[in-house]
Amino acid sequence: MDLLNTLVDKGLRRELPTREEALAVLATSDDDLLDVVAAAGKVRRHWFGRRVKLNYLVNLKSGLCPEDCSYCSQRLGSKADILKYTWLKPDEASQAAAAGLAGGAKRVCLVASGRGPTDRDVDRVSQTIRAIKEQNEGVEVCACLGLLSDGQAERLREAGADAYNHNLNTSESTYGDITTTHSYADRVDTVQKAHAAGLSACSGLIAGMGESDEDLVDVVFSLRALDPDSVPVNFLIPFEGTPLAKEWNLTPQRCLRILAMVRFVCPDVEVRIAGGREVHLRTMQPLALNLANSIFLGDYLTSEGQAGKADLDMIADAGFEVEGADQVTLPQHRADVAGGCGSHAAAGCGSGAEAGCGSHEGGGCGSHAEAGGGVCGTAAAAPVPSAAEPRTDLVAVRRRGAGTDLAPNA
């Protein structure tokens, strides 16, 4: 296919595709899907080999957010039955982080719900960053606290933060349909503040909120212009109790096309599969590793994820390898200018405070202990779901890890 050959050539040269080419990727048929994955996989392997970076979320403060982001279970007015708790103490957050690091994660993403941090909140998170860094040599820390005020990014940097995350989430033209309590421009401003402070910028999107192909291309082109080091791609989890609870618009094939388009537009950037991969990619998750070079390990902010061991088995079975602490994440031309991210034992972060560090906070489940029915051969066969049916059974509220007395999933 001439389109794919052109996109591969451009990706290897770091050349921006045209909007028409990006839209054409999203419009490809299922019959051409493996060709699309193979082409984008060439670009992924050129810049990142077969390495997969692992990241781990710690939800420092859950729920009770004053913002009205429609996708979020922590939003103002949310009726989702999620965990709600105030700030974890620095030692509690450090203990939570240790579980993910023991499982192979290279970066810890510290997330707190809310519009943005107060100066006291920045002090609190700074203490947590120092505690994690003192106890875990070489770990990278990304802060995801919402909209930043002047000087706060610099203070986080001084405390040892390597990166800051804030997602654009959707196109500028449709942003007001998703959130009214802050603007698209506010989000752009926060990403720029992180850049200016010398932090590695992390910013991505949420797919599946009813947006058009044009909206998806718009937001990815906007991200390319902002030039973050990492781009998390979230797939909406339609969480009961939120305005988007009925928006089940994604198929595994659609998710793969979106990831391929992001890779072609952002060829040398860390592309991370974030929230929703278990719910929407399902058994196609290993194929997506040919497109993205980064995932989250274990659970998300308010929902359960695939078992940590299953993540590691998936990576190995698909012929990929977990990125080691001694490996540089980003290509050399990016690592040389990155504000810490990817320039040593780097791993990527995710999204904004209410969006959950790349996991869009409603990150999915799919293989927790309750899933899957009884023992093979001894219980009635589970009904076979139709491809057109929403997989609401794959969404489970997180009841373990940070904010609970139960061990985390890592």
Q: Distance of alpha carbon 98 from its chain centroid, rounded? A: 20
Q: Is 255 a catalytic residue?
A: no
User: 255 among the known binding-site residues?
Assistant: no
Q: Is 266 a catalytic residue?
A: no
Q: Is 349 a catalytic residue?
A: no
From the list 44, 65, 144, 257, the catalytic residue is 65
Helix (H/G/I), strand (E/B), else coil: 49: coil
From the list 51, 124, 142, 398, the catalytic residue is 142
Task: Name the nearest CA neighbour of 107 among 331, 310, 358.
Answer: 358
User: 72 among the known binding-site residues?
Assistant: yes
From the list 202, 255, 266, 341, the catalytic residue is 202
Q: Report which secondary-structure segment, H or E, holds 58.
A: strand 51-61
Rounded to the nearest 5°, which phi and psi values hold at 154? -65, -40
Q: What is the crossing angle of helices 2-12 and 252-265, to 10°?
A: 50
CB 410 within 8 A of CB 102: yes
From the list 51, 72, 357, 365, the catalytic residue is 72
User: 266 among the known binding-site residues?
Assistant: no
From the list 107, 157, 263, 272, the catalytic residue is 272
The residue type at 187 = R
User: 144 among the known binding-site residues?
Assistant: no
DSSP 79-147: ------B-PPPHHHHHHHHHHHHHTT-SEEEEEE-SSS--HHHHHHHHHHHHHHHHHSTT-EEEEE-SS
User: 130 among the known binding-site residues?
Assistant: no
Cα R_g (the chain), whole angstroms: 19
Q: Is 202 a catalytic residue?
A: yes
User: 357 among the known binding-site residues?
Assistant: no
From the list 44, 51, 107, 109, the catalytic residue is 109
Q: Is 69 a catalytic residue?
A: yes
C-alpha angle 142-143-147 in degrees, rounded to nearest 5: 140
Residues known to be catalytic: 65, 69, 72, 109, 142, 202, 272
Q: Output the known binding site for [4Fe-4S] cluster.
A: 65, 69, 72
Q: Output the known binding site.
A: 65, 69, 72, 109, 142, 202, 272
Q: Output the known binding site for [2Fe-2S] cluster.
A: 109, 142, 202, 272
